[in-house]
Structure 1
Amino acid sequence: MSVKVEHLTGGYGKKPVIKDINFELEQGEIVGLIGLNGAGKSTTIKHMLGLLQPTEGELVISNTNIKEDVEAYRRKLSYIPEAPVIYDELTLEEHIYMTAMAYNISREEALNRAKPLLKTFRLQDQMKIFPSHFSKGMKQKVMIICAFIVDPELYIIDEPFLGLDPLGIQSMLDLMVDKKKEGRTVLMSTHILATAERYCDRFIIIDQGEIVAIGNLAELRDQTNMHDKTLDEIYIEVTQGGNR
Protein backbone atom coordinates (compact mmCIF):
# COMPACT_ATOMS: atom_id res chain seq x y z
CA MET A 1 0.00 0.00 0.00
CA SER A 2 1.22 3.48 -0.81
CA VAL A 3 -0.33 6.91 -1.01
CA LYS A 4 0.81 9.18 -3.82
CA VAL A 5 0.26 12.93 -4.03
CA GLU A 6 1.70 14.17 -7.31
CA HIS A 7 1.92 17.77 -8.55
CA LEU A 8 -1.06 18.76 -6.39
CA THR A 9 -2.06 22.37 -7.03
CA GLY A 10 -5.29 23.95 -5.85
CA GLY A 11 -7.22 25.95 -3.32
CA TYR A 12 -10.47 27.83 -3.01
CA GLY A 13 -10.34 30.31 -5.87
CA LYS A 14 -8.38 31.17 -8.98
CA LYS A 15 -5.17 31.79 -7.07
CA PRO A 16 -3.72 28.47 -5.80
CA VAL A 17 -3.15 28.01 -2.08
CA ILE A 18 -0.92 24.97 -2.58
CA LYS A 19 1.50 24.65 -5.48
CA ASP A 20 3.03 21.47 -6.90
CA ILE A 21 2.81 19.35 -3.73
CA ASN A 22 4.56 15.98 -4.14
CA PHE A 23 5.00 13.22 -1.58
CA GLU A 24 4.44 9.51 -0.99
CA LEU A 25 3.32 7.74 2.17
CA GLU A 26 4.41 4.16 2.68
CA GLN A 27 2.65 1.32 4.45
CA GLY A 28 3.20 1.22 8.19
CA GLU A 29 4.48 4.72 8.88
CA ILE A 30 3.34 7.82 10.74
CA VAL A 31 4.07 11.03 8.87
CA GLY A 32 3.78 14.50 10.37
CA LEU A 33 2.43 17.30 8.17
CA ILE A 34 3.62 20.51 9.78
CA GLY A 35 3.58 24.19 8.97
CA LEU A 36 2.47 27.62 10.14
CA ASN A 37 -1.20 28.59 10.22
CA GLY A 38 -2.25 29.28 6.64
CA ALA A 39 0.69 27.35 5.18
CA GLY A 40 -1.58 25.00 3.24
CA LYS A 41 -1.84 21.94 5.50
CA SER A 42 -5.64 21.90 5.74
CA THR A 43 -5.98 22.69 2.03
CA THR A 44 -3.75 19.72 1.21
CA ILE A 45 -5.83 17.50 3.49
CA LYS A 46 -9.12 18.67 1.97
CA HIS A 47 -7.85 17.82 -1.49
CA MET A 48 -6.76 14.38 -0.26
CA LEU A 49 -10.25 13.85 1.15
CA GLY A 50 -11.87 14.85 -2.13
CA LEU A 51 -13.55 17.90 -0.59
CA LEU A 52 -11.76 20.26 -2.96
CA GLN A 53 -11.14 19.83 -6.68
CA PRO A 54 -7.49 20.40 -7.62
CA THR A 55 -6.53 22.45 -10.65
CA GLU A 56 -3.67 20.02 -11.24
CA GLY A 57 -2.35 16.81 -9.77
CA GLU A 58 -3.03 13.18 -8.96
CA LEU A 59 -4.19 11.54 -5.72
CA VAL A 60 -3.82 7.76 -5.42
CA ILE A 61 -4.26 5.26 -2.57
CA SER A 62 -3.19 1.67 -3.33
CA ASN A 63 -3.51 2.21 -7.09
CA THR A 64 -6.99 3.72 -6.71
CA ASN A 65 -7.05 7.16 -8.32
CA ILE A 66 -9.57 9.61 -6.89
CA LYS A 67 -10.44 10.78 -10.40
CA GLU A 68 -11.30 7.28 -11.55
CA ASP A 69 -13.34 6.03 -8.56
CA VAL A 70 -13.89 8.58 -5.81
CA GLU A 71 -16.03 6.29 -3.65
CA ALA A 72 -13.52 3.41 -3.72
CA TYR A 73 -10.76 5.93 -2.99
CA ARG A 74 -12.60 7.40 0.02
CA ARG A 75 -13.31 3.97 1.51
CA LYS A 76 -9.55 3.48 1.79
CA LEU A 77 -9.22 6.35 4.28
CA SER A 78 -10.76 7.78 7.41
CA TYR A 79 -10.50 11.31 8.76
CA ILE A 80 -10.41 12.94 12.18
CA PRO A 81 -11.08 16.67 11.77
CA GLU A 82 -9.66 19.45 13.92
CA ALA A 83 -13.17 20.49 14.99
CA PRO A 84 -15.56 17.63 15.84
CA VAL A 85 -18.49 17.17 13.46
CA ILE A 86 -21.42 16.02 15.56
CA TYR A 87 -25.03 15.47 14.47
CA ASP A 88 -27.41 16.87 17.07
CA GLU A 89 -30.15 14.32 16.37
CA LEU A 90 -27.92 11.21 16.66
CA THR A 91 -26.79 9.37 19.78
CA LEU A 92 -23.23 8.09 20.15
CA GLU A 93 -24.44 4.64 19.13
CA GLU A 94 -26.10 6.08 16.04
CA HIS A 95 -22.91 7.93 15.09
CA ILE A 96 -21.16 4.54 15.12
CA TYR A 97 -23.93 2.98 13.02
CA MET A 98 -23.86 5.86 10.54
CA THR A 99 -20.09 5.45 10.10
CA ALA A 100 -20.52 1.71 9.63
CA MET A 101 -23.16 2.25 6.97
CA ALA A 102 -20.91 4.65 5.05
CA TYR A 103 -18.13 2.04 4.91
CA ASN A 104 -20.33 -1.05 4.36
CA ILE A 105 -19.56 -2.47 7.80
CA SER A 106 -22.28 -4.44 9.62
CA ARG A 107 -23.67 -3.02 12.85
CA GLU A 108 -22.45 -6.07 14.74
CA GLU A 109 -18.91 -5.69 13.43
CA ALA A 110 -18.95 -1.94 14.11
CA LEU A 111 -19.98 -2.51 17.73
CA ASN A 112 -17.32 -5.21 18.18
CA ARG A 113 -14.67 -2.82 16.90
CA ALA A 114 -16.06 0.06 18.97
CA LYS A 115 -16.16 -1.74 22.34
CA PRO A 116 -12.43 -1.53 23.18
CA LEU A 117 -12.30 2.06 21.91
CA LEU A 118 -15.31 3.04 24.01
CA LYS A 119 -13.63 1.51 27.04
CA THR A 120 -10.33 3.24 26.31
CA PHE A 121 -12.00 6.65 26.07
CA ARG A 122 -14.44 5.92 28.92
CA LEU A 123 -17.55 6.37 26.83
CA GLN A 124 -18.98 2.86 27.16
CA ASP A 125 -21.85 4.15 29.33
CA GLN A 126 -22.71 6.99 26.92
CA MET A 127 -24.01 5.01 23.94
CA LYS A 128 -27.58 6.28 24.22
CA ILE A 129 -26.50 9.88 24.89
CA PHE A 130 -26.51 12.63 22.28
CA PRO A 131 -22.87 13.76 21.85
CA SER A 132 -24.10 17.29 21.10
CA HIS A 133 -24.23 17.60 24.90
CA PHE A 134 -20.64 16.39 25.36
CA SER A 135 -17.61 18.54 26.11
CA LYS A 136 -15.30 19.31 23.19
CA GLY A 137 -12.86 16.66 24.34
CA MET A 138 -15.59 14.03 24.51
CA LYS A 139 -16.82 15.04 21.05
CA GLN A 140 -13.28 14.62 19.74
CA LYS A 141 -13.22 11.12 21.25
CA VAL A 142 -16.41 10.32 19.30
CA MET A 143 -14.59 11.35 16.11
CA ILE A 144 -11.63 9.15 17.03
CA ILE A 145 -13.83 6.13 17.75
CA CYS A 146 -15.72 6.52 14.48
CA ALA A 147 -12.49 6.88 12.50
CA PHE A 148 -10.84 3.85 14.07
CA ILE A 149 -13.77 1.44 13.68
CA VAL A 150 -13.36 1.85 9.91
CA ASP A 151 -9.89 0.22 9.92
CA PRO A 152 -8.83 1.81 6.60
CA GLU A 153 -5.47 1.83 4.86
CA LEU A 154 -4.89 5.54 5.54
CA TYR A 155 -5.78 7.68 8.55
CA ILE A 156 -5.74 11.44 8.00
CA ILE A 157 -5.71 13.25 11.32
CA ASP A 158 -5.90 17.04 11.59
CA GLU A 159 -4.70 18.46 14.93
CA PRO A 160 -5.94 15.41 16.87
CA PHE A 161 -4.97 16.57 20.35
CA LEU A 162 -7.04 19.75 20.60
CA GLY A 163 -9.45 19.48 23.51
CA LEU A 164 -8.17 16.09 24.68
CA ASP A 165 -7.01 15.52 28.25
CA PRO A 166 -3.55 13.95 28.81
CA LEU A 167 -5.02 10.44 29.06
CA GLY A 168 -6.96 10.98 25.83
CA ILE A 169 -3.82 12.23 24.06
CA GLN A 170 -1.83 9.17 25.13
CA SER A 171 -4.66 6.84 24.12
CA MET A 172 -4.79 8.51 20.72
CA LEU A 173 -1.03 8.11 20.26
CA ASP A 174 -1.19 4.47 21.34
CA LEU A 175 -3.90 3.82 18.72
CA MET A 176 -1.75 5.40 16.03
CA VAL A 177 1.22 3.23 16.99
CA ASP A 178 -0.96 0.10 17.02
CA LYS A 179 -2.24 0.87 13.52
CA LYS A 180 1.29 1.50 12.30
CA LYS A 181 2.28 -1.95 13.60
CA GLU A 182 -0.68 -3.41 11.67
CA GLY A 183 0.69 -1.89 8.47
CA ARG A 184 -1.69 1.08 8.30
CA THR A 185 -0.50 4.57 7.41
CA VAL A 186 -1.12 7.76 9.38
CA LEU A 187 -0.81 11.34 8.10
CA MET A 188 -1.03 13.67 11.06
CA SER A 189 -1.14 17.46 10.98
CA THR A 190 -0.02 18.93 14.30
CA HIS A 191 1.61 21.93 15.94
CA ILE A 192 2.83 19.85 18.90
CA LEU A 193 6.26 19.23 17.44
CA ALA A 194 7.84 17.50 20.43
CA THR A 195 5.18 14.80 20.17
CA ALA A 196 5.58 14.65 16.38
CA GLU A 197 9.34 14.23 16.76
CA ARG A 198 8.81 11.32 19.13
CA TYR A 199 6.14 9.44 17.19
CA CYS A 200 6.49 10.30 13.50
CA ASP A 201 8.76 8.38 11.15
CA ARG A 202 8.99 11.24 8.66
CA PHE A 203 7.95 14.86 8.34
CA ILE A 204 6.57 17.07 5.59
CA ILE A 205 7.15 20.76 6.27
CA ILE A 206 4.95 23.05 4.21
CA ASP A 207 5.27 26.82 3.98
CA GLN A 208 3.38 29.29 1.79
CA GLY A 209 1.74 26.44 -0.08
CA GLU A 210 4.95 24.61 -0.96
CA ILE A 211 6.89 21.75 0.58
CA VAL A 212 10.14 23.21 1.92
CA ALA A 213 11.55 20.08 3.59
CA ILE A 214 10.67 16.39 3.73
CA GLY A 215 12.24 13.35 5.38
CA ASN A 216 13.05 11.80 8.74
CA LEU A 217 14.76 13.86 11.42
CA ALA A 218 18.26 12.89 10.29
CA GLU A 219 17.43 13.81 6.70
CA LEU A 220 15.92 17.15 7.75
CA ARG A 221 19.08 17.90 9.71
CA ASP A 222 21.19 17.15 6.64
CA GLN A 223 18.94 19.18 4.31
CA THR A 224 19.09 22.22 6.58
CA ASN A 225 22.66 21.74 7.81
CA MET A 226 21.26 21.93 11.36
CA HIS A 227 22.92 18.91 12.90
CA ASP A 228 21.79 17.86 16.40
CA LYS A 229 18.88 20.34 16.27
CA THR A 230 15.34 19.47 17.32
CA LEU A 231 12.37 19.36 14.97
CA ASP A 232 11.15 22.59 16.61
CA GLU A 233 14.38 24.39 15.76
CA ILE A 234 14.46 23.10 12.20
CA TYR A 235 10.80 24.02 11.69
CA ILE A 236 11.34 27.60 12.87
CA GLU A 237 14.39 28.02 10.67
CA VAL A 238 12.82 26.75 7.43
CA THR A 239 9.53 28.63 7.90
CA GLN A 240 10.79 31.90 9.38
CA GLY A 241 14.57 32.04 9.35
CA GLY A 242 15.15 31.89 5.64
CA ASN A 243 14.35 34.27 2.82
CA ARG A 244 10.81 33.01 2.28
Structure 2
Amino acid sequence: MPGRHLTSGSARIVCIVAGMLLCCAPIKQLPWMKQDDTYQCGSQLIEMLQPPMSLAKQFFLAHSPIILVVLIVALLTVIGEPAKEILCFNHKAIINGQWHRVITGHLVHLSSTHALFNMIAAVIGWLLLKNVLTITQWFLTLLINAIIISLFLLLSNVAWYVGFSALIHALIPIAVGNDRKLSQPIKLLVIGGLAIKVIYEQVYGATLTTSQLIGGAVLVQSHLFGLISGIATLLFLKRESLRAVVNRIL
Protein backbone atom coordinates (compact mmCIF):
# COMPACT_ATOMS: atom_id res chain seq x y z
CA MET A 1 0.00 0.00 0.00
CA PRO A 2 1.57 3.34 -1.05
CA GLY A 3 2.61 5.67 1.78
CA ARG A 4 0.58 8.78 2.45
CA HIS A 5 2.17 12.19 2.06
CA LEU A 6 1.89 14.61 4.95
CA THR A 7 0.22 17.92 4.21
CA SER A 8 2.14 21.10 4.98
CA GLY A 9 -0.07 21.65 8.03
CA SER A 10 0.50 18.13 9.30
CA ALA A 11 4.22 18.42 8.70
CA ARG A 12 4.32 21.64 10.71
CA ILE A 13 2.50 19.99 13.62
CA VAL A 14 4.88 17.02 13.57
CA CYS A 15 7.92 19.33 13.58
CA ILE A 16 6.55 21.42 16.45
CA VAL A 17 5.85 18.30 18.50
CA ALA A 18 9.37 17.09 17.74
CA GLY A 19 10.76 20.40 18.92
CA MET A 20 8.75 20.22 22.14
CA LEU A 21 10.02 16.70 22.78
CA LEU A 22 13.55 17.89 22.12
CA CYS A 23 13.05 20.64 24.72
CA CYS A 24 11.81 18.19 27.32
CA ALA A 25 13.61 14.93 26.54
CA PRO A 26 16.47 13.94 28.90
CA ILE A 27 19.07 13.69 26.12
CA LYS A 28 22.57 12.88 27.30
CA GLN A 29 24.83 15.94 27.31
CA LEU A 30 27.70 15.71 24.83
CA PRO A 31 31.21 16.89 25.82
CA TRP A 32 31.13 20.02 23.67
CA MET A 33 27.58 20.99 24.67
CA LYS A 34 26.63 23.37 27.45
CA GLN A 35 23.98 22.24 29.87
CA ASP A 36 21.13 24.19 28.29
CA ASP A 37 22.06 23.63 24.63
CA THR A 38 19.56 20.80 24.15
CA TYR A 39 16.69 22.88 25.46
CA GLN A 40 17.77 25.94 23.45
CA CYS A 41 17.88 23.91 20.24
CA GLY A 42 14.33 22.70 20.77
CA SER A 43 13.08 26.19 21.62
CA GLN A 44 14.78 27.68 18.55
CA LEU A 45 13.22 24.99 16.35
CA ILE A 46 9.74 25.84 17.64
CA GLU A 47 10.34 29.59 17.11
CA MET A 48 11.56 28.99 13.54
CA LEU A 49 8.44 26.98 12.71
CA GLN A 50 6.00 29.58 14.04
CA PRO A 51 4.47 31.80 11.32
CA PRO A 52 6.08 35.25 11.37
CA MET A 53 3.94 38.13 12.62
CA SER A 54 2.83 40.36 9.77
CA LEU A 55 4.35 43.82 9.50
CA ALA A 56 0.90 45.38 9.80
CA LYS A 57 0.23 43.55 13.06
CA GLN A 58 3.67 44.49 14.42
CA PHE A 59 3.04 48.14 13.52
CA PHE A 60 -0.39 48.15 15.15
CA LEU A 61 0.85 46.53 18.36
CA ALA A 62 3.77 48.96 18.61
CA HIS A 63 1.61 52.05 18.04
CA SER A 64 -1.79 50.88 19.29
CA PRO A 65 -2.46 53.76 21.75
CA ILE A 66 -2.10 56.54 19.18
CA ILE A 67 -3.71 54.52 16.37
CA LEU A 68 -6.81 53.83 18.47
CA VAL A 69 -7.04 57.45 19.61
CA VAL A 70 -6.74 58.80 16.05
CA LEU A 71 -9.27 56.29 14.67
CA ILE A 72 -11.81 56.98 17.42
CA VAL A 73 -11.42 60.76 17.09
CA ALA A 74 -11.71 60.53 13.29
CA LEU A 75 -14.86 58.41 13.51
CA LEU A 76 -16.52 60.70 16.05
CA THR A 77 -15.58 63.75 13.97
CA VAL A 78 -17.22 62.21 10.90
CA ILE A 79 -20.37 61.45 12.90
CA GLY A 80 -20.39 65.10 13.98
CA GLU A 81 -23.01 66.77 16.15
CA PRO A 82 -24.85 63.61 17.27
CA ALA A 83 -21.62 62.17 18.72
CA LYS A 84 -20.69 65.49 20.28
CA GLU A 85 -24.10 65.81 21.92
CA ILE A 86 -23.94 62.33 23.46
CA LEU A 87 -20.24 62.26 24.42
CA CYS A 88 -19.11 65.81 25.26
CA PHE A 89 -18.18 66.87 28.78
CA ASN A 90 -21.45 68.28 30.08
CA HIS A 91 -21.49 69.29 33.74
CA LYS A 92 -25.22 68.87 34.26
CA ALA A 93 -25.33 65.51 32.46
CA ILE A 94 -22.40 64.13 34.47
CA ILE A 95 -23.97 65.22 37.75
CA ASN A 96 -27.10 63.36 36.65
CA GLY A 97 -25.16 60.13 36.23
CA GLN A 98 -23.71 60.17 32.70
CA TRP A 99 -20.19 59.45 33.93
CA HIS A 100 -18.93 58.20 30.57
CA ARG A 101 -18.57 61.86 29.57
CA VAL A 102 -15.56 62.35 31.87
CA ILE A 103 -13.62 60.22 29.36
CA THR A 104 -15.46 60.63 26.06
CA GLY A 105 -15.46 64.41 26.31
CA HIS A 106 -11.77 64.35 25.42
CA LEU A 107 -12.41 62.45 22.17
CA VAL A 108 -14.97 64.74 20.50
CA HIS A 109 -14.07 68.13 19.02
CA LEU A 110 -15.59 71.42 17.95
CA SER A 111 -14.75 70.87 14.28
CA SER A 112 -12.67 68.76 11.91
CA THR A 113 -9.93 71.43 12.07
CA HIS A 114 -9.92 71.26 15.86
CA ALA A 115 -9.61 67.46 15.73
CA LEU A 116 -6.90 67.62 13.04
CA PHE A 117 -4.73 70.06 15.01
CA ASN A 118 -4.97 67.98 18.18
CA MET A 119 -4.24 64.69 16.40
CA ILE A 120 -1.21 66.16 14.59
CA ALA A 121 0.18 67.30 17.94
CA ALA A 122 -0.60 63.92 19.51
CA VAL A 123 1.04 61.95 16.68
CA ILE A 124 4.19 64.10 16.72
CA GLY A 125 4.47 63.71 20.48
CA TRP A 126 3.95 59.96 20.18
CA LEU A 127 6.64 59.53 17.52
CA LEU A 128 9.13 61.47 19.64
CA LEU A 129 8.35 59.96 23.03
CA LYS A 130 6.49 56.65 22.52
CA ASN A 131 9.26 54.49 24.00
CA VAL A 132 9.36 56.13 27.44
CA LEU A 133 6.36 54.08 28.66
CA THR A 134 5.02 50.62 27.90
CA ILE A 135 1.81 50.21 25.89
CA THR A 136 -0.11 49.33 29.07
CA GLN A 137 1.32 52.36 30.89
CA TRP A 138 0.27 54.62 28.02
CA PHE A 139 -3.33 53.36 28.11
CA LEU A 140 -3.47 53.73 31.90
CA THR A 141 -1.92 57.20 31.71
CA LEU A 142 -4.50 58.33 29.15
CA LEU A 143 -7.39 56.95 31.19
CA ILE A 144 -6.26 58.27 34.57
CA ASN A 145 -5.41 61.76 33.30
CA ALA A 146 -8.69 62.01 31.38
CA ILE A 147 -10.54 61.33 34.63
CA ILE A 148 -8.40 63.74 36.69
CA ILE A 149 -8.81 66.58 34.18
CA SER A 150 -12.56 66.04 34.06
CA LEU A 151 -12.75 66.12 37.87
CA PHE A 152 -10.97 69.49 37.80
CA LEU A 153 -13.50 70.70 35.23
CA LEU A 154 -16.35 69.50 37.43
CA LEU A 155 -14.97 71.26 40.49
CA SER A 156 -14.53 74.44 38.45
CA ASN A 157 -18.17 74.35 37.35
CA VAL A 158 -17.22 74.34 33.67
CA ALA A 159 -20.50 73.76 31.85
CA TRP A 160 -19.25 72.21 28.62
CA TYR A 161 -15.96 71.01 27.12
CA VAL A 162 -14.63 69.01 24.18
CA GLY A 163 -11.15 68.25 22.85
CA PHE A 164 -7.93 66.31 23.33
CA SER A 165 -5.70 69.32 24.02
CA ALA A 166 -5.96 69.08 27.82
CA LEU A 167 -4.69 65.50 27.64
CA ILE A 168 -1.83 66.61 25.38
CA HIS A 169 -0.82 69.15 28.05
CA ALA A 170 -0.84 66.29 30.59
CA LEU A 171 1.08 63.79 28.48
CA ILE A 172 3.95 66.12 27.54
CA PRO A 173 5.45 66.45 31.06
CA ILE A 174 4.84 62.73 31.74
CA ALA A 175 6.65 61.63 28.58
CA VAL A 176 9.46 64.18 28.74
CA GLY A 177 10.05 63.56 32.44
CA ASN A 178 10.37 59.81 31.87
CA ASP A 179 12.65 60.03 28.82
CA ARG A 180 16.08 58.80 29.95
CA LYS A 181 17.72 60.11 26.79
CA LEU A 182 16.99 63.72 27.72
CA SER A 183 19.19 65.60 30.15
CA GLN A 184 17.68 67.29 33.19
CA PRO A 185 18.17 70.81 31.77
CA ILE A 186 16.30 69.85 28.59
CA LYS A 187 13.46 68.31 30.59
CA LEU A 188 13.17 71.42 32.74
CA LEU A 189 13.29 73.62 29.64
CA VAL A 190 10.46 71.76 27.90
CA ILE A 191 8.20 71.48 30.94
CA GLY A 192 9.02 75.04 32.02
CA GLY A 193 8.26 76.34 28.52
CA LEU A 194 4.92 74.56 28.55
CA ALA A 195 4.15 76.03 31.98
CA ILE A 196 4.95 79.56 30.73
CA LYS A 197 2.67 79.03 27.73
CA VAL A 198 -0.19 77.86 29.98
CA ILE A 199 0.29 80.76 32.43
CA TYR A 200 0.25 83.21 29.51
CA GLU A 201 -3.06 81.73 28.37
CA GLN A 202 -4.55 82.13 31.85
CA VAL A 203 -3.64 85.81 31.87
CA TYR A 204 -4.26 86.85 28.26
CA GLY A 205 -6.42 84.04 26.89
CA ALA A 206 -5.97 82.12 23.67
CA THR A 207 -5.29 83.95 20.44
CA LEU A 208 -8.24 85.02 18.29
CA THR A 209 -6.73 83.19 15.33
CA THR A 210 -6.78 79.88 17.18
CA SER A 211 -10.42 80.33 18.17
CA GLN A 212 -11.37 81.13 14.59
CA LEU A 213 -9.51 78.11 13.22
CA ILE A 214 -11.06 75.55 15.57
CA GLY A 215 -14.54 77.04 15.36
CA GLY A 216 -15.03 78.15 18.96
CA ALA A 217 -13.48 79.57 22.11
CA VAL A 218 -10.49 77.81 23.65
CA LEU A 219 -11.09 76.74 27.25
CA VAL A 220 -7.65 77.68 28.56
CA GLN A 221 -8.46 76.35 32.04
CA SER A 222 -8.43 72.84 30.59
CA HIS A 223 -4.79 73.31 29.54
CA LEU A 224 -3.93 74.33 33.09
CA PHE A 225 -5.75 71.31 34.52
CA GLY A 226 -3.97 69.08 32.02
CA LEU A 227 -0.58 70.44 33.00
CA ILE A 228 -1.31 70.02 36.73
CA SER A 229 -2.56 66.47 36.16
CA GLY A 230 0.49 65.58 34.07
CA ILE A 231 2.99 66.96 36.58
CA ALA A 232 1.19 65.18 39.44
CA THR A 233 1.34 61.90 37.49
CA LEU A 234 5.02 62.45 36.72
CA LEU A 235 5.81 63.06 40.40
CA PHE A 236 3.94 59.88 41.32
CA LEU A 237 5.89 57.85 38.76
CA LYS A 238 9.15 59.38 39.98
CA ARG A 239 8.34 59.10 43.69
CA GLU A 240 11.23 56.73 44.44
CA SER A 241 13.76 59.03 42.77
CA LEU A 242 12.30 62.05 44.56
CA ARG A 243 12.43 60.25 47.90
CA ALA A 244 16.11 59.45 47.33
CA VAL A 245 16.86 63.10 46.50
CA VAL A 246 15.03 64.32 49.62
CA ASN A 247 16.89 61.80 51.79
CA ARG A 248 20.23 63.00 50.42
CA ILE A 249 19.31 66.62 51.12
CA LEU A 250 18.10 65.88 54.65
Q: TM-score, normalised by structure 2?
A: 0.26
Higher relative contact order (CA 8 A, sep 6+): 1
Pick the structure with more strand per residue.
1
Q: TM-score, normalised by structure 1?
A: 0.27
Pick the structure with more helix per residue.
2
